[in-house]
Amino acid sequence: MMKIMNSSMLIMLIISMLMMITMMVSKKSLMDREKSSPFECGFDPINSPRISFSLHFFLMAVIFLIFDVEIVLILPITIMTKFMITKEWMMSSLMLIIVIIMGLYHEWNKGMLQWSN
């Protein structure tokens, strides 16, 4: 029992020493304005390097991903017809489709599917 405790203490000591060494080595010395600015052939940049990102585009991408995952859930329904009782299969399929349609209705009702305001 003491061997296990000693070895675990030694492991914890080594891990904490490694963490402290990596934190000291990885720190950046000084943030220089020239080093943090984008380089454009030695000249100051003409435009801002940060292009504004449309939040509505991001929301559309998230909605697409959600419905994409739901389609992946729908695809195995056809395979499950062989392994389930027809009534159970119909109820589970209907419940999944109702949840998807309710989500689509909610997003449509909130105006999230309209590209321009």
What integer pLDDT is reported at residue 69 of this predicted model?
A: 85
Q: Give the confidence band of 50 by pLDDT, cuts at 50, 70, 90.
A: low
Query: Whole-prediction pTM value?
Result: 0.48
Question: For the segment 61-86, what is each residue's pLDDT rounded down to a tens digit?
Answer: 888 888 888 888 888 888 888 888 88
Which residues lie across from 74 on neighbouring strands? none
Residue numbers of the domain that contains 92: 55-110
Does residue 38 sit within a domain?
A: no
Does residue 80 sit within a domain?
A: yes
Please report, for residues 63, 79, 100, 103, the alpha-carbon distance to residue 106 in angstroms, rounded to integers and kept in the order given.
Answer: 12, 29, 10, 5
What integer pLDDT is reported at residue 38 of this predicted model?
A: 63
| Phi, psi angle pair for 37, to nearest 5° | -90, 155
Quick one: how far is CA 51 from the chain centroid? 21
Does residue 105 sit within a domain?
A: yes
Does residue 33 sit within a domain?
A: no
| Phi, psi angle pair for 43, to nearest 5° | -100, 160
What integer pLDDT is reported at residue 46 of this predicted model?
A: 66
Q: Give the confidence band of 10 by pLDDT, cuts at 50, 70, 90.
A: very high
Instruction: Say which amino acid occupies 92.
Output: S
| Phi, psi angle pair for 105, to nearest 5° | -60, -40
> How many structural domains is the chain composed of?
1
Task: Report the pLDDT averaged over residues 53-60.
Answer: 78
